[in-house]
Amino acid sequence: MSASLLAGRGSARTARHCAKTGGGNGPPSVVHVAAGPRVTEANLKPAIHLRLAACSGFFAVALGAFGAHGLKARLGPEMLGIFQTAVQYQFYHSLAWLLVAVLALRGPVATALRLSGYCFGAGILLFSGSLYVLALSGAHWLGAVTPLGGIAFLLGWLSLAVAAGALTDRTSHHGAGD
């Protein structure tokens, strides 16, 4: 994966920086920094999904620590359990979303793979988000939103299974003539 992709900068800027790092008349000190795909229209959305999944993972860890240390004295055991459930599901599905984004960066994105990423993101917002608000505010009406997030998670996993089947089929056809 390119350093410029992770930094959110174009590869031309990285190339100019690399050219400047050479010393005097000799060859550049750094010949090639950015290995991997360039940011194009085809892989822009996977790059955004990669960032969102990584941020979601960050917040899952931060919220887990906050729940374990900052909310222990403020919430009862039931609400603290609900909060921790939200953290666990957010973390699991952040990792799954990260996997989907990395797979999408590697090649053409199948519709099922794209759908899987959207479903994991929506599931995190609906399922974990509603549980966070429920645990912190006691707004029990949000319990009706939580199953929608669960359905989004299920659809995400199902879509990932379909995408994996298509990827496996494509790989086995390429390897048949070798």
* C-beta of residue 82 within 8 angstroms of C-beta of residue 131: yes
Highest mean pLDDT among 42-46, 92-96, 102-106: 92-96
Residues 155 and 114 reside in one and the same domain: yes
Cα–Cα distance for residue pair 124/122, rounded to 1 Å: 5
Find the domain containing 74 and state its range.
40-175
3 state SS for 127-147: HHHHHHHHHHHCCHHHHHCHH
Residues 57 and 76 reside in one and the same domain: yes
Question: Same domain for 91 and 140?
Answer: yes
Contact in structure between 87 and 67 (CB atoms under 8 Å) = yes
Domain count, the chain: 2
Average pLDDT over residues 161-169: 80
**Tens-digit pLDDT profile for residues 41-89:** 555 577 888 999 999 999 999 999 999 999 988 999 999 999 999 999 9
User: Are residues 61 and 49 both part of a single domain?
Assistant: yes
Determine what percent of the chain is predicted with pLDDT higher than 90: 52
Q: Looking at the structure, tell me whether residues 63 and 89 fall in a common domain.
A: yes
pLDDT at position 73 is: 87
Task: Count Cβ atoms below 10 Å from residue 143 Cβ, excluding itself.
Answer: 12
Higher pLDDT, 170 or 124: 124
Within this chain, do residues 142 and 78 fall inside the same structural domain, yes or no?
Answer: yes
